Amino acid sequence: MPLKVDPETIYGDHSTNLRLRVAVFLGIWLIVAGLFFCPTSIRFTYAPLNDAAAVVLAATIPLSLGSVALAIRSTWGQWSLGCLTALVAIPVLIFGLFSLLAMFRFLSDGADASFEPRSELKAGHSVYRIYRTNGGAMTSFGIVLRKETTIAPGLMLVTRLRAYYPASDARLERLADGRIRFTLDPSDLPAFLGPLFSGPCLLACG
């Protein structure tokens, strides 16, 4: 008489395994959503490491979704989630290619032309920096203002304070009371937007 082996003995409790994979997938999505929507995040001070981390994190999205598909016993459920995994993998692959290109461009040129530092002012333990974004010939310049604070060797806490598009330049100046004034150059803004977005903005120090 052949020996019967319970699959649960080999693979463990199926429902627990499925719940664990779903929890991992949801956790990854929460991390990605937090990094994308939260104005404050932890970054590496060396830019190529941020590109490499973005590629790895993005790749875990379709991989974790695929693992959920494999854990489902229903054939229809496996096919459905498998197709969804393939659809999710396409933009992730495109994003990964652009991130790798940016990383290799930085390694070869020593700078990132798509995110160029323009000016900075130190305030306490933090630094306010203006960056000019450049997406290529088909896009206009943009301006990003960030507050960067070193929290450990090689790591910094980054807060995105302002972002403008299109815009070509901006400036920072320290006032007598210690605050920092940020002023956007309105030359590239449409006439009806200039008065709304180009006025000076006062930043508290520290």
- Proportion of the chain above pLDDT 90, given as a percent: 36
pLDDT exceeds cutoff 60 at 64: yes
Residue boundaries of the structural domains of the chain: 9-109, 115-203
Average pLDDT over residues 35-54: 89
Q: In the chain, pLDDT over 70 holds for what percent of residues?
A: 83
Are the CB atoms for 72 and 78 separated by under 8 Å? yes
Closest CA to 59 of 69, 47, 51: 51
85's CB contacts (< 8 A; 6+ apart) are 62, 65, 66, 69
Res. 84 pLDDT band, cuts 50 70 90: very high
- Condensed to tens digits (0 to 9), the pLDDT of residues 66-83 reads 999 888 888 888 899 999
Q: Tell whether the model's pLDDT for residue 106 goes beyond 60.
A: yes
Residue 108 scores a pLDDT above 90 = no
Q: How far apart are the first and last CA of the chain?
A: 77
Q: Is the pLDDT of residue 10 over 80?
A: no
pLDDT at 186: 63
What confidence tier does 204 reach under pLDDT thresholds 50, 70, 90?
A: low
Predicted TM-score of the model (pTM): 0.74
Q: At residue 191, does pLDDT exceed 50?
A: no
CA diameter of the chain: 92
Task: Respond yes or no on whether the N-terminal peptide bond of residue 190 is cis (omega within 30° of 0).
Answer: no
Residue range 128-143, pLDDT digits in tens: 999 998 877 788 888 9
Backbone phi, psi, residue 138, to 5°? -90, 0
Mean pLDDT across the stretch 28-32? 88
| Strand order through the sheet with 170-174 | 170-174, 180-184, 201-203
Which pLDDT does position 202 carry in this prediction?
Answer: 60
pLDDT score at 120: 92
pLDDT of residue 165: 83
Q: Is the pLDDT of residue 89 over 70?
A: yes
Do residues 179 and 203 make contact, with C-beta atoms less than 8 angstroms apart?
yes
DSSP-derived 3-state class of residue 164: strand
The pLDDT of residue 196 is 42
* CA-based radius of gyration for the chain: 23
